[in-house]
Structure 1
């Protein structure tokens, strides 16, 4: 990809979004886990659960603060690097973000302070309510952001106004209840719960291996394994729903995920393995599972899933229809000042307006889409194919990691039920080394969702190449360097604070131990490990 303004703007947004998303899933999941632990404390009165709440709550607070700091940049980029996007759809996209800031974030931020400083000032029940309000605020914040993002994937409840040249809301309830947004929300928050569960499980396993804070660690592992198993299963089920909706609203994304170049007879086979080649439009050494894609994507045996070649042909037809809409739009705008808009232009735009975005794909090659050559039309149609290789492997790695999380959490769930969490030290080591894997899966999921809709910044409405600001490439490149430096410093601070808190460990009041207890426990665990080997 050439380092033009579009590529650099996309690179900057990808870097800042991927970095910000390192903090979001852990915030979502830890907020719920901490609230669950405090609920147990209030119900049982056992102070060890209060110690657990405070310890994991401290890690939540560190992560929350970093998430806020990195998220601010995301808001400014819309106006700085994507000004035409902000102009084109600001009326629609801005509303959920504004509501998120006014309702969800203020709720979350207001009660975070009470959570940390209200232990001695609030009653048990009042502090528990605060903990749950923090958790609800965190997840509510994700809801509004994903409503905005879901609209970009499936733009409902809005229409284009030829007089203002902007998308305007026609049905805000349709924006709120967008099925793609709802599926993305539950899938994303479930992934966040998995991230937090594996994090708590891995850190607790490290304590058990070291023979430290054993009672607190084992209880934390029990909560994390139970919650993580439910969340891991939910991610798979809700991911299936997202796939079904993508088949309906984002057919090219589904075809690219499967490297399905030709339309197959229903029900389509699932490509379990292969090496897609976008240049030759074939998948080498492909291993197919009959019927599976058709069942997952359409939930039927008779509905056809179109291949990439057919979808490119459809895109070319839509581009030609969009050119008619673009021509009618120019006539409407030219006559706008006089008010004498030709009825024929109105009629043509009303009929062909939904394809206007496809005509804008030609802006990459020619200023006036009406002057595009057949070769440029064909090339613009080919541009509707996203990076197949990148999507194909990102999706499969994400799914593979999801299956691993189910096995891991199920294993520790069974061990917890049998009270044998420390029976297999090698499993504890697996849990420790698994800590970064949910983040990798979450980042891969982001790539699948966002890269999969390219070349659209808003599916079928506004191409990415048209949405950027009129900035110099050197300016964007300089800001990428500055953001990279700032984020690197923030990452070092985050890791130092988190690792420092983990090494220090929780302050326990509920299960005081005699001097040497933890050391003797560690020695016993090492002896059992040697015996097992």
Structure 2
């Protein structure tokens, strides 16, 4: 594999991170609002109470704005795999492309088709038929997330694949292993439920705006209560699934979990503290200003009290034999490409599981070639490669903690909000309404921190232990990447501005824009502002 200009690699990473973070601002709300709309419409169909139809139509309009912009940002991001990550696409295309193709054919087109029927079918379909359409939209959006996360899980925990020395690519072995990758299943539920948290606080925040202004009070009170109860359940599920993912990272991606916990030395159970605050330093491989809670880390990660958690120093030492074996694998593979001798192929097969570490070592070898170096040079390359197996510990450590802090605060906010709503005391406690309104962007921020934790924690690999990031990008010029990055930043900023403008516009107009008959009367009903 040819080496690529490091600046191009970094610009490619930054551009993809930028576009993914922009795109992920829309995704969680889309995932969450679909099932909330289905729940509102279900109540309408079962009870016949028109206010729930008004709720489904109004929140559906805001969902439509978010959905359209989410599609626009997502499609361009997928093209980046071919334009900016061509080496990755060639090497891992079978594994990554198959789930994405299924997502497009099965989920995206299904979702897009039924979205139109959901918006324009209120007066053309029967109540049960329209409800079925709404559920199909929710199913389609979540199936879309499932297939994308199956593709992503293959990058974090590669399953059902092997390296073919003839094609120099990872080849598909088992579709079943790819689909039922445990990492994919856990991430799918965690991500989807995080979307429900986003949708819950979104609905609560806008409903709070109406209650503070004494507009659409009955509509807002009902929406607020349903969202608060939805949010409590969702937050508990998010925390539970986060624990499952932590346990999985402990088993499958130990460098990620060690970075998340800022753990440089192997923990000594049962005393290992969970760090609340620290300033990790990758270069000096230590933490500054540590503040932790004793006894918590071991049971939190391992679910046991006497099992150690391997620290980053030990993980670097454990990587040494894999790096040496990877160099042997890469050397044998190069010889086999020249001679096609069975002896070289056998030597490669003996070390093939560590080929990725051989790729990783090439960036530290003389001439970026590990196949013709002396034993002394091999030792130097191995020592230089060992620290490179770690991600940026500071970024991973703090992105995880900010996500966890926000998640726990959401649970408290939903619990207090639900209590006050059920006691019909919302409008007496304006502070909770203000807090909900200003908290609308926080779940989106929490999901962004979660994405950073997952993806930055995988570094230095695009495919964990198989393909390093510095070998994965396309061979563009620095100028091309800089112009492309500026163009994407401008385009996506316009998308964000359009989203905010439309959301503010239609939220301020309120539910009356959906139905001129019922909600205006409800909005002026001051006799019982939260009676229902």
Q: TM-score range by the shorter chain?
A: over 0.9
Paired position in structure 1 for 2:302: 298
Report the CA distance between 1:515 and its aligned residue.
11
Of 132, 137, 155, which residue of structure 2 is paired with 1:134?
A: 137
Paired position in structure 1 for 2:322: 318
Map 1:3-14 to 2 at 5 A: 4-14=7-17
Paired position in structure 2 for 1:529: none
Contact between 2:216 and 2:522, CA under 8 Å: does it hold in 1? Answer: no
Separation in 1, partners of 2:179, 2:209: 43
Of 484, 492, 499, which residue of structure 1 is paired with 2:497?
A: 492
Paired position in structure 2 for 1:351: 350
Give a deviation string over 1:205-234, Cα, whole Å, max 9, x none.
110001011111011111100111101111
Aligned-partner SS, 1:422: helix
Report the CA distance between 1:295 and its aligned residue.
1.2
Report the CA distance between 1:371 and its aligned residue.
4.0
The normalised TM-score by structure 1 is 0.94
Paired position in structure 2 for 1:176: 179
Q: 1:271 to 1:134 in 2, by over 3 A?
A: same
Report the CA distance between 1:44 and its aligned residue.
0.6
Paired position in structure 2 for 1:390: 395
Paired position in structure 2 for 1:368: 369
Report the CA distance between 1:301 and its aligned residue.
2.3
Aligned-partner SS, 1:144: helix
1:204 maps onto 2:207 in alignment: yes
Report the CA distance between 1:269 and its aligned residue.
2.9
Paired position in structure 2 for 1:418: 423
Separation in 2, partners of 1:356, 1:289: 40
Contact between 2:390 and 2:459, CA under 8 Å: does it hold in 1? Answer: yes
Give a deviation string over 1:176-212, Cα, whole Å, max 9, x none.
1111111111111111110110110111011000101
Contact between 1:211 and 1:521, CA under 8 Å: does it hold in 2? Answer: no
Give a deviation string over 1:232-279, Cα, whole Å, max 9, x none.
111111000000000011101111111111112234432222222223
Q: After alignment, is 485-494 or 399-408 more displaced?
A: 485-494
Paired position in structure 2 for 1:55: 58
Report the CA distance between 1:489 and its aligned residue.
1.3
1:327 maps onto 2:331 in alignment: yes
Separation in 2, partners of 1:238, 1:43: 32
Q: 1:350 to 1:516 in 2, by over 3 A?
A: closer
Of 424, 437, 440, which residue of structure 1 is paired with 2:442?
A: 437
Map 1:156-167 to 2 at 5 A: 156-167=159-170
Q: After alignment, is 415-424 or 404-413 more displaced?
A: 415-424
Of 455, 459, 464, which residue of structure 1 is paired with 2:464?
A: 459
1:379 maps onto 2:384 in alignment: yes
1:69 maps onto 2:59 in alignment: no
Paired position in structure 1 for 2:252: 249
Aligned-partner SS, 1:283: strand
1:483 maps onto 2:488 in alignment: yes
Report the CA distance between 1:394 and its aligned residue.
1.1
Contact between 2:208 and 2:220, CA under 8 Å: does it hold in 1? Answer: yes
Q: 1:7 to 1:332 in 2, by over 3 A?
A: same
Give a deviation string over 1:397-421, Cα, whole Å, max 9, x none.
1101001000001111112222222
Paired position in structure 2 for 1:517: 524
Paired position in structure 2 for 1:19: 22
1:38 maps onto 2:41 in alignment: yes
Report the CA distance between 1:316 and its aligned residue.
2.5
Contact between 2:323 and 2:354, CA under 8 Å: does it hold in 1? Answer: yes
Q: 1:3 to 1:459 in 2, by over 3 A?
A: closer
Aligned-partner SS, 1:275: strand
Report the CA distance between 1:294 and its aligned residue.
1.6
Aligned-partner SS, 2:287: strand
Q: After alignment, is 131-140 or 258-267 more displaced?
A: 258-267
Give the superposed CA RMSD: 1.9
| Equivalent residue pairs, number | 517
Aligned-partner SS, 1:286: strand
1:506 maps onto 2:522 in alignment: no
Paired position in structure 1 for 2:342: 342
Q: After alignment, is 359-368 or 207-216 more displaced?
A: 359-368
Separation in 1, partners of 2:425, 2:372: 73
Report the CA distance between 1:517 and its aligned residue.
3.1
Paired position in structure 2 for 1:473: 478
Contact between 2:55 and 2:511, CA under 8 Å: does it hold in 1? Answer: yes
Report the CA distance between 1:173 and its aligned residue.
0.5
Separation in 1, partners of 2:261, 2:521: 59
Q: 1:516 to 1:48 in 2, by over 3 A?
A: closer
Contact between 2:8 and 2:481, CA under 8 Å: does it hold in 1? Answer: yes
Separation in 1, partners of 2:304, 2:268: 12
Contact between 1:47 and 1:509, CA under 8 Å: does it hold in 2? Answer: no
Aligned-partner SS, 2:283: coil
Report the CA distance between 1:128 and its aligned residue.
0.2
Report the CA distance between 1:513 and its aligned residue.
5.5
Aligned-partner SS, 1:271: strand
Report the CA distance between 1:521 and its aligned residue.
7.6
Report the CA distance between 1:351 and its aligned residue.
2.5
Q: After alignment, is 22-31 or 420-429 more displaced?
A: 420-429
1:154 maps onto 2:157 in alignment: yes
Q: Which runs of 5+ in 2 are unaligned?
A: none
Separation in 2, partners of 1:521, 1:62: 34
